[in-house]
Amino acid sequence: MAAEAEARGAALPGFQPGTARTGRRPRIAVGLDSSGSIDDATLARFAAELDGVARRSRAETHLLAFDETVHTARAVGPGGWDAALRARPLRRGGGTAFGDVIARAVEIDASAAVILTDLDGAFGPAPRGLPVIWAVPGAPPAPPPFGRVLRLDR
């Protein structure tokens, strides 16, 4: 706009329109443990926490439900978790391994990963450049080898 005014010899405008944001919206991967060690009440609590992350962060939020592998992956918006889980209930049971869910969070280029779990599983290697928050329903049985623990019962 200023360049056009200068080219015509006109006065420069007092207002310059804003430009579109070029930065990308943060992306959060939320791993939801649906293994056999997670009871129905804990799974419901985890689903509510997923909604809280989507609502409060205003980030692009991706649900990665897993046991030994990721079995459900989808983007969810604020309030969208309930309909998403009703439309396609989560697979339940099995053991727990965190390697696949962490790898998927890296694949989608997440800014951070929040893993809703009881920490009863195999961890695998620490991801490079991906902050991991382990959101647990109570006191963890042992500290994880990487990431930060957030207790949901406090």
Residue by residue, pLDDT tens for the chain (154 residues) are 556 656 666 665 555 555 554 567 789 999 999 998 999 899 889 888 888 888 888 888 999 999 999 998 988 866 655 555 555 556 677 889 999 999 999 999 999 999 999 999 999 999 999 999 999 999 998 999 999 999 999 8
pTM above 0.85, yes or no: no
Q: Are 61 and 28 in contact (CB under 8 A)?
A: yes
* pLDDT score of 52: 83
In 3D space, the residue among 19, 33, 10, 30 whose CA is nearest the CA of residue 90 turns out to be 33
* Cα angle 115-57-112, degrees, rounded to a multiple of 5: 40
Task: Compute the distance between CA of residue 63 and CA of residue 27 in angstroms, rounded to an integer.
Answer: 11
Distance of CA 126 to the CA centre of its chain: 17
CB atoms inside a 10 Å sphere around CB 12: 10
